[in-house]
Amino acid sequence: MNTAIVLSGGIGSRMGADQPKQYIMVRERPIISYCLEIFEKHEEIDHIVIVADEAWQAFIEEWLKKENITKFFGFASAGRTRQHSIYNGLKVSKGCTPDEGVVIIHDAARPLVSDQIISDCLHGAAEDGGAMPVITVKDTVYFSKDGASIDQLLDRSCLYAGQAPEAFRLGEYLAIHDAVSDEEIAATVGTSQIAYKHGMKVRLVKGSERNIKITTPEDLSTFETILSE
């Protein structure tokens, strides 16, 4: 039993639009509906939990009907940080997912995730406890403490750029959130960070350059270009 948790709590301030980016219409569908369709069709996903601000839940429900999303289990409230939203999503997922089941946590604004990435994450988490898709870092990355001059060139062969979705065995991952302080949840930057910090193994699986997160107008036009291919 695997559950997709779709994070849709963002407010989209970087897009310069009024509405959160995941609700922008592309080809007459909100961006969030693209990943919902992918999870609906993926045969290893049993349920979908959506973390969203209450103000948007009626809008989402309308689209769940239009798109015939039958796996929807329920909403979780948006939290004050991304990791708080995840925690809320985990608690709701407990209602439909056993401890040994896997939750796969995705961004509503990543409409191009592939079935392969989802499967690899689910299998990786089932076997190792956690899994996340990564791509290689193309940049030459320097470390600078003060932002004024270089301290160190990092070894690119050890660097990986994290993507979503990230997958974890629900029982272990939720137990960490129950155990740590609210401040630690607030300070969590990467979804996997809190997992490996508390002893879970997080397997790296192959991500994709196409699996973009839409945060800027440029990303939006890239998405439209890829759709028209």
CB of 63 closer than 8 Å to CB of 22: no
**Residue 223 token pair:** 């998405």
Give the nearer residue to a copy of itself in terms of CB position, either 92 or 125. Answer: 125
* Residue type at 79 in one-letter notation: G
What does the per-residue mask of binding to a copy of itself show for 150-189, with x meaning CB under 8 A? xx-xx-x-xxxxx--------------------------x
Strands 47-52 and 166-169: unpaired
**Residue 219 token pair:** 């990303």
H or E segment to which residue 37 belongs: helix 31-41
Give the nearer residue to a copy of itself in terms of CB position, either 59 or 196. Answer: 196
Distance between CA atoms of 214 and 191, rounded to whole angstroms?
Answer: 18
Residue selected from 8, 22, 97, 192 as contacting a copy of itself according to rule CB under 8 A: 192
Distance between CA atoms of 219 and 133, rounded to whole angstroms?
Answer: 19
What does the per-residue mask of binding to a copy of itself show for 135-154, with x meaning CB under 8 A? --x-xxxxxxx-xxxxx-xx
Distance between CA atoms of 84 and 188, rounded to whole angstroms?
Answer: 9
**Size, binding site for a copy of itself by CB under 8 A:** 33
201 binding a copy of itself? (CB under 8 A): yes
* Residue type at 154 in one-letter notation: L
Distance in Å, CB of 42 to a copy of itself, minimum: 24
Give the nearer residue to a copy of itself in terms of CB position, either 123 or 203. Answer: 203
Residue with tokens 């989802």: 118
Specify the stretch interacting with a copy of itself by CB under 8 A; choose among 15-23, 81-89, 101-109, 126-134.
126-134
Distance between CA atoms of 9 and 15, rounded to whole angstroms?
Answer: 15
Give the nearer residue to a copy of itself in terms of CB position, either 59 or 160. Answer: 160
Give the nearer residue to a copy of itself in terms of CB position, either 55 or 158. Answer: 158
Q: Which residues bind a copy of itself (CB under 8 A)?
A: 128, 132, 134, 137, 139-145, 147-151, 153-154, 156, 158-162, 189-190, 192-193, 196, 201-204
